[in-house]
Amino acid sequence: MQAVRKNPVAVRPVGADRPALSISNLSVRFGTRTILDSINLSARKGEFVCIVGSSGSGKTTLLRVLAGLGRADEGKVLFEGTEISGPSRDRAIIFQDYSKALLPWRTVRGNVALSLEARNVAAAEQEAIVAELLARMGLSHAKDQFPNQLSGGMQQRVQIARCLAQEPKLLLMDEPFGALDAMTRQTLQDEILQLVADKHIATVFITHDLEEAIYLGDRVVVLGGSPASAVESMEIDLPRPRNQLTTREDARFLAYRHRLFEFLVQKRSPVAPQRKGQD
């Protein structure tokens, strides 16, 4: 709780400017169709980067490459100096479709414990760690329930808890709150900000919601064009901790929204026909 009150910039350890994640000239093709074209992007340690783009702009493809679940056809992705070649426990991914990502035959507790079992945490220690994470995510009362007995918001909390249990250095989130109602979404936005600030985890957060991106991010990256190539990066200089009312009413917030919106609209149309012709 304390850490959040401080400015995250001040909390960042020395050497924070060295990029934790660096993507250079990343291209991904599905068959003859180019999805991502020469993407360049980097993220500092502990930075919260939001990626926005219209649907079909290759956001999820990019995130899957970062998770090691998708492969890059060209270019390089370095995480903490090592090239990403496959999935790793260091990079947790939170899927949008939480109901498919949870193990339906395991209770909430069992689902979170899966990460600990993967890390070979001794059975005796697991219980305490799980209990702490569940308390943190407000799931203590539901620990013995199965995923299909929970609401969408609760299920997504379980998935977040499971990802935290794997103690990642990078948190990848693929429109995690897209399927939730507005109230639940706002609560989870604040919870995730607090978690990430407490644990200094670098985060790449994908959304199609501009306001969500500005509200959460230290930086917002726009993925535009077809295939996605244009990456516009914008530092979000809004005070932390952020507040659902005051932050969103801040004049700077609205200015960011305005500029990003224009950029998104601009990028959507004219690039497409030219590029398609090349394939």
Q: Which residues bind another protein (CB under 8 A)?
A: 67-69, 86-89, 91-93, 95, 97, 100-101, 103, 105-107, 110, 114-115, 117-118, 166
User: Which residues have C-beta within 8 Å of that of residue 46, sequence separation ≥ 6?
Assistant: 8, 11, 12, 13, 16, 20, 200, 201, 202
Nearer to another protein, 12 or 106 (CB): 106
- What's the rounded Cα separation, in Å, for the pair 227 and 49? 21
Q: Which of 71, 136, 149 is nearest to 108 (CA)?
A: 149
Asked if 211 and 242 count as a contact pair (C-beta separation under 8 A), the reply is: no
Give me the residues paired with residue 202 across strands: 170
**3-state class (DSSP) for residue 180:** coil
Nearer to another protein, 158 or 264 (CB): 158
Least CB distance from residue 26 to another protein, whole Å? 20
Give me the residues paired with residue 232 across strands: 222
- What's the rounded Cα separation, in Å, for the pair 87 and 73? 16
Least CB distance from residue 3 to another protein, whole Å? 27
Nearer to another protein, 48 or 95 (CB): 95
Asked if 242 and 194 count as a contact pair (C-beta separation under 8 A), the reply is: no
Least CB distance from residue 110 to another protein, whole Å? 7
Nearer to another protein, 174 or 212 (CB): 174
Nearer to another protein, 159 or 207 (CB): 159
User: Which residues have C-beta within 8 Å of that of residue 194, sequence separation ≥ 6?
Assistant: 1, 4, 241
Nearer to another protein, 79 or 95 (CB): 95
Least CB distance from residue 155 to another protein, whole Å? 13
Least CB distance from residue 183 to another protein, whole Å? 26
Give the tokens for residue 92.
């947790």
Least CB distance from residue 69 to another protein, whole Å? 6
